[in-house]
Structure 1
């Protein structure tokens, strides 16, 4: 599994030391905005710990989840912490802007607390929008206002920046998303692939506190913006296993890895995998494998 880039990692990769000071703003979360020509022309394929909206003016290839698209005209890109992506610039002639922000920044503004639930950031949605000259001017003006506002000493500037984010999202929702990604052979294959991609993104579990949040077929269907029956039908058709079987298999795989390669006790592993009680985890593990977590641990000694 690819590594996850933190906000701090972003600034270190782009040698933007000034931005590191923004990380110390207490109780606000993180927001920043940049001109694209000041940052790397090639980015690593990975997930990020932050949301990002980019106005791309320049040619290159966007790798997103398990597909890619060639960008040869101005475009808006919306990325989220779930799906990995990378950008490969075709040349050095790269212009535009981008802003990055965290969940906490959004949650501090009640009106925009559900911005991350927008269709623009959904796992199964289309992340890129090609824009015309008039739309480019409108979007550019918003980014320019962001650049100006973040440098101001206005007491409520972060509220202003959230408002600009809100405006940016609404302007984009008027635009039709790009449709020329490399397509799958059929709808079931696409749904099953997105599900398997999303399932894999839930792991590894790095600490008991970073517990598994998506545990049922319904959880995954909601995140993919499809009906659970459609998800079940597609996964069964393409993989030969039910959605529940795929989830259970991956949870057991992770459980075995944690039992073998960490010093967490069984209770910590249970909580990390989303079980409310260790006994529930033990029963689940035994039902799936025929043995108990403690037996696996004992066998390793």
Structure 2
């Protein structure tokens, strides 16, 4: 898949998501061989017919035919198209768009999107025809002014989800030879995508190696070994360095209170943040404002 085209699609989708919560589009016809991990802040369902290699967390899968893929904003992935052509559709949406008042289950708990699940399904020809038709209907409806369009879109998305839950997911994942490099890249991307902190009301959620290992669906020991092997530094060192760097930026460039800054970085009590900052920098946070 052409990386520039895909990034443009994602950028366009992101702008649509800000106002609508969803975007449906047809995949373009040009391809590239170079895989790219890019930031994705939304859920994605994609039907694709091609010969491809998909890297998901520290696993990989080679496909040849039509697949249905479910991506979530927690686990980064890359998609390398091997064949010269491909065809398909994609739908991106926020959890807020799909989640209705009477639905308490989060998408992270769904069998299709949950951490540790298998997000890829091989489709038979008749399944491809049916799923294609649902995407085509969504694209048509997306252009209308129908007053209940959002409800209709949710129904189409849920129909794809339920049809997929009837299927057996693929199980022919492989471990790439450079698994250590791949999991390290995923960890570093997942670490970086938490920053910059833009609000005081949503504290940092991933703060320990265990948090990152759970999000990447790997054992914490495997994560620690890989990161140390590739970078020469422990996982905790990367995390603490990035948190301290962000803390300094917030202290110097915002008018937030030290308590608010600590809370935004995941520290429940100001004393915890003060002690953490002093232990790693040799000084207390408020000294940077003097």
1:96 is the counterpart of 2:88: yes
Query: Once structures 1 and 2 are overlaid, which stretch shifts more, 158-167 or 134-143?
Result: 134-143
Give the whole-Å Cα distance in 2 for the aligned partners of 1:86 and 1:11.
Answer: 11
Go from structure 1 to structure 2 and tell me whether the alpha carbon gap of 1:115 and 1:208 turns closer, same or farther (over 3 Å shift).
closer
Aligned to 1:243: none
1:256 is the counterpart of 2:248: no
1:281 is the counterpart of 2:281: no
Aligned to 1:151: 143
Highest RCO, 1 vs 2 (Cα 8 Å, sep ≥ 6): 2
Give the whole-Å Cα distance in 1 for the aligned partners of 2:111 and 2:14.
Answer: 30
Give the whole-Å Cα distance in 2 for the aligned partners of 1:215 and 1:20.
Answer: 26
SS at match of 1:135: helix
SS at match of 2:242: helix
- Aligned match for 1:201, one of 187, 190, 203: 190
1:146 Cα shift?
A: 1.5
RMSD: 4.1
Aligned to 2:8: 13
Give the unaligned 5+ runs of structure 2. 229-233
1:163 Cα shift?
A: 1.2
Deviation by residue 1:138-167 (Cα, 9 ceiling, x = unmatched):
322222222232233321111111111111
SS at match of 1:45: coil
Give the unaligned 5+ runs of structure 1. 241-245
1:72 Cα shift?
A: 0.7
1:54 Cα shift?
A: 0.5
For normalisation by structure 2, the TM-score amounts to 0.72
Give the whole-Å Cα distance in 1 for the aligned partners of 2:7 and 2:172.
Answer: 34
Give the whole-Å Cα distance in 2 for the aligned partners of 1:232 and 1:36.
Answer: 36
User: Residues 112 and 166 of structure 1 are in contact (CA less than 8 Å); yes or no, is this contact kept in structure 2?
Assistant: no
Aligned to 1:106: 98
- Aligned match for 2:21, one of 21, 24, 30: 30
User: Residues 106 and 112 of structure 1 are in contact (CA less than 8 Å); yes or no, is this contact kept in structure 2?
Assistant: no
Give the whole-Å Cα distance in 2 for the aligned partners of 1:134 and 1:171.
Answer: 12
Go from structure 1 to structure 2 and tell me whether the alpha carbon gap of 1:296 and 1:134 turns closer, same or farther (over 3 Å shift).
farther
Aligned to 2:169: 177
1:197 Cα shift?
A: 4.3
Q: How many matched pairs? A: 272
